[in-house]
Structure 1
Amino acid sequence: MTRSVAIADIATYRPAKRVPAEHFTQFAESDELSQNVMFRSPAFRHHAADGETSADMIDTAARTLVERHGDDYLDDVDVVLTHSQLPEVPVRGCVGEVAHRLGLRPTTVLDVHNGGCAAFVHMIEIAGALLQAGGGRKALLGLAQNSAGQIFTQEQVRGKAQAAIPGDGAAVATLTLGDDGNPVLGTVSRSFGEYSADMTAVAQPERKYWEAGPGQIHVGFTEAKIAKVLARGNRMVPEVALDVAHQIGVRPADLDLFITNQPNRIFLRNWRDALELPEERHPDTFDECGNLFAVGIPMTLDAAIDEGRVHSGAVVMMSAFAHAGDFAAAGAIRWNGRS
């Protein structure tokens, strides 16, 4: 019999450098996209310190779990998965370094590069499958968003409308098998490879990201691409959430919390309207943290728990889409408390 998968606990990290929207105003240039709804700036975001790596941030978040539960809390971790928005080394991620720094000896380590903003749910699926297949006792998931203070503060990028939206941060979660913890009720993933090429990194003058040159890399947005992303995102996030709700037999209107990625306010509003949920049941950390990409869902969930907004027995739906719409995933858990 397949044993159920549960989230045991979750912890997050926000870098100390808290950056107000006014920081970007001083660099604002005449960007033709400045009035686009995609780029209405959050009040604040956090930037990683100079030299602060993905492994640093994930390690700091994981130490919170150790402080909360005891020095031996991670001793039975056999599976470690990490996701970094901006890997420091092109040919590898940070999973090995994270495992070493935490003193772990896992049987499986995996850098999950794909998944984008939906990576948290994607990693729950992957780690759960590994545990259920006999691959270990506990899994540690680590996610880092570290591109805000590196990509979007570059001299040629910081004046663009896109620069003020992202923030940095990290999150970790532990997964276990059995009836304890916060059971994963269901998940759904959808791949849309036909949209993969719509996400581009560009520079002026044009160059490949690994080539030397005067142009600084940033996201290649155009009005046409933004229109496509808005249409896809508006559709995909509710669709996968509704699929999971149907799978677990819960009416969308009966969900206790709906937690999504948070690219901008317009998406947040449209997604909760699609599920006919009031704003208080769709928490976000956008105005404090900006767009955290893959870290957005666990950051908001952790904040909601700390604020007492997640009662025991609550059904929490998590849903996100990635990149320009090439992937979407949703998952539901029943929250019973930190364990």
Structure 2
Amino acid sequence: MSTHAAVLTGLGGYLPPRTVTNEELSDRLDTSDEWIRKRTGIRQRHVVDPGVATGDLAVEAGHRALKSAGAQGWNAVDMVVVATTTPDHPLPGTAPNVAARLGLGPVAALDVQAGCSGFVYALATATAALAAGHAEGVLVIGAEVFSNVLNPADRTTAVIFGDGAGAIVLRAGDRDEPGAVLGVDLGSDGTGLELATIPGGGARQRASGRQPRPDEGYVQMNGKEIFLQAVRRMAASSSAVLGKVGWSVDQIDHVVGHQANLRILHSLAQQLGVDKRRVVSHIESAGNTSAASIPLALADAAARSRFRPHDRLLLTAFGAGLTWGSAALTWPQTTLV
């Protein structure tokens, strides 16, 4: 087995300052704070102000991660990967402009679109580039402005999602270093594409020869089926990556799952046989931030000194596509935030 690995060396998160509470949503939707909390665990979510786009959040989170990495940030990063479902433009990708705005120069830069699994897919892309020697340092960002693709009258989605961005810096290193990403597992099932989709605006809709309906520009989701699929797929993927790295469930210090729904996180813990106290969550205050949720959860937990050097972390996510993925890593020696 190769000793080359990607090592976590920087971390940053950014949530826009404006918050929307459950009470505010209850004023315009047929819902209540109690209903939302019981079904999702969410108390509030952050939403951008007019004129703010995904790239703006990505730049802020990226800047914080690079600052956290110190000399191993701006001076070493030669690749940027941005995971997002809400890019600034259909063309070009968001990552090149984010890299330019961060002053990183003519580095490689690309977007990854894997729904709420996007950050794990971007992490896998970065670790592969580092292990192969194609990069020395990679900035990985998950960023979303989901408020722009939510139907304000649809309580099944409007109460769940929020805006935000989280980022990490990875450098080339060795597997025995604290902070090393030790294994990744990815999967997909395209037969479930209609379970979570934005049907309007893409090539498939345009090929139909008809104009999209107004509601087709918004996220449409089968919440009940997504719940069942998410728990099953994340549990299986988690078990697969644990097998790859040789960890038992009892050896996991923290499970950092996609922050989709608190009940999903608790069901996942039950499926894995992990105590709920080892599950990292900040969904109550941020909601579901899609591809940004895992790095934001990492930044929030690190800021509260929840992680210790050499702790074993399991990351796992599920999203539209259908896509899913997991990663196993140890926590680095240095303080990141």
Aligned pair count reads: 325
How high is the TM-score relative to the length of structure 1?
A: 0.87
Asked if structure 2 preserves the Cα contact closer than 8 Å seen for 1:184 and 1:334, the reply is: yes
Q: Aligned pair 1:174/2:169, yes or no? A: yes
Report the counterpart of residue 95 of structure 1 in structure 2: 95
Deviations 1:60-80 (A, max 9, x none): 112223444547731221111
* Distance change in 2, residues 1:216/1:236 (3 Å): closer
1:104 CA displacement: 1.2
Q: Secondary structure at the match of 2:232?
A: helix
* Distance change in 2, residues 1:163/1:79 (3 Å): same
Q: 1:263 aligns with which of 260, 265, 268?
A: 260
Q: Aligned pair 1:121/2:126, yes or no? A: no
Structure 2: 5+ residue runs without aligned partners?
none
Report the counterpart of residue 327 of structure 1 in structure 2: 323
Q: 1:151 aligns with which of 140, 149, 152?
A: 149
Amino acid at match of 1:46: H
What's the Cα RMSD here? 2.8
Asked if structure 2 preserves the Cα contact closer than 8 Å seen for 1:3 and 1:178, the reply is: yes
Deviations 1:179-208 (A, max 9, x none): 3551011111112122224333358xxx95
Q: Aligned pair 1:58/2:58, yes or no? A: yes
2: CA distance between counterparts of 1:98 and 1:145? 13
1: CA distance between counterparts of 2:293 and 2:260? 9
Q: Secondary structure at the match of 1:291?
A: coil
Structure 1: 5+ residue runs without aligned partners?
none
Runs of 4+ residues deviating >6 angstroms: 34-38
2: CA distance between counterparts of 1:45 and 1:29? 18
Q: Secondary structure at the match of 2:133?
A: helix
* Distance change in 2, residues 1:231/1:73 (3 Å): closer
Report the counterpart of residue 131 of structure 2 in structure 1: 132
Q: Aligned pair 1:196/2:193, yes or no? A: yes
Asked if structure 2 preserves the Cα contact closer than 8 Å seen for 1:78 and 1:135, the reply is: no
Report the counterpart of residue 156 of structure 2 in structure 1: 161
Percent identity reads: 24
Amino acid at match of 1:95: A
* Distance change in 2, residues 1:39/1:87 (3 Å): farther
Q: Secondary structure at the match of 1:231?
A: helix
Asked if structure 2 preserves the Cα contact closer than 8 Å seen for 1:39 and 1:162, the reply is: no
* Distance change in 2, residues 1:282/1:181 (3 Å): same
Matches within 5 A, 1:305-320: 305-320=302-317
Q: Secondary structure at the match of 1:134?
A: coil
Deviations 1:245-277 (A, max 9, x none): 122121112210001012212211100111222
Q: Secondary structure at the match of 1:178?
A: strand
